[in-house]
Structure 1
């Protein structure tokens, strides 16, 4: 029964989180039948490396929580301001430029010193790239808590 649950969990993770990353998983990354690696292009994601029942390695894309980046040395997601990511979207970008967070309707990122700094609109507001933080009540198309 445990094996069936584990397989169902892995299948649902693969379907929910998108593509597989076999090429990012190797014996070096593996310890105790699982391992981790940096995502090839997104600081807020990482690759969890697993072994299937036939002993084949495969990688599954996982997301960090808002305002955190994957830290390969600590093998966990930590505050984006406390780690360096070579794929930071603010590297080489003018200070003050902003981008909307994809998963948090109140969240956005602002470039400062070549790093992405997580920002958040006050409760009752959402972030709009062209208008900044706007009240939910004034925008009937938005349901952001």
Structure 2
């Protein structure tokens, strides 16, 4: 039900949702842009609206279609204006059980409705960025009330449209006609939101690397009191705690070496200095060797062959 019969219900709902919020639940007044999750060009129903769409460009929301007249509702499934609303915007039962009087809206804090028993007699929207307040039954400034308006990503995204998982770079989601579907990229691949496909790890800037399978071993052989690479970056590593024989650490501590060091595969040492100069000399030496003329004498060739070796 979209209507809210009392401010107590509003506040209780807000608290409950904060504690048990689903993966795809988003608050309307959140500062992060939903388009950060979608590929450029994706068209969505504008959260909190029933008549507008947004188009994702550079991971930001831009204006799309605005519907009015005989077809006032934007349909996410058809990508066009329609005469009837999707479930997200259905107000046919908004007054059910609410009694008589004004109620607010769970999808947009600016909206209000006037009910007489189960019948909807009127509706409107607060102006100038104001919200409808359940206590005073009037429009007030946003800082003077609690806004719990929320939406599910599948309320605004078309069926089958992929979007990234904020918590795991190797996972992404799609919406079916009934629920959220979790998808996992093949081993060694991460989801690239720019292309909407799974690609090699090195081609994705990832802030939330997934925990590698059995990173701290298994029940047969647990990795105890040791450092292990995150297997995805040059600087990331995990510390596997000693929880006892046959008890792998399922929640190891994640850390990163500083920019001058890289993670090591050593059990007892997390970071080591990067041998940048040696690497540079190796590469330059290989390039130079490929350009040496065949007529070089044995002494020159012998000296040249040292160019690709590390200096003491």
Per the normalisation by structure 1, the TM-score is: 0.42
In terms of fraction of residues, the more strand-rich structure is: 1
Pick the structure with greater CA Rg. Answer: 2
Per the normalisation by structure 2, the TM-score is: 0.22
Q: Choose between structure 1 and 2 for higher RCO, CA contacts under 8 A separated by at least 6 residues.
A: 1
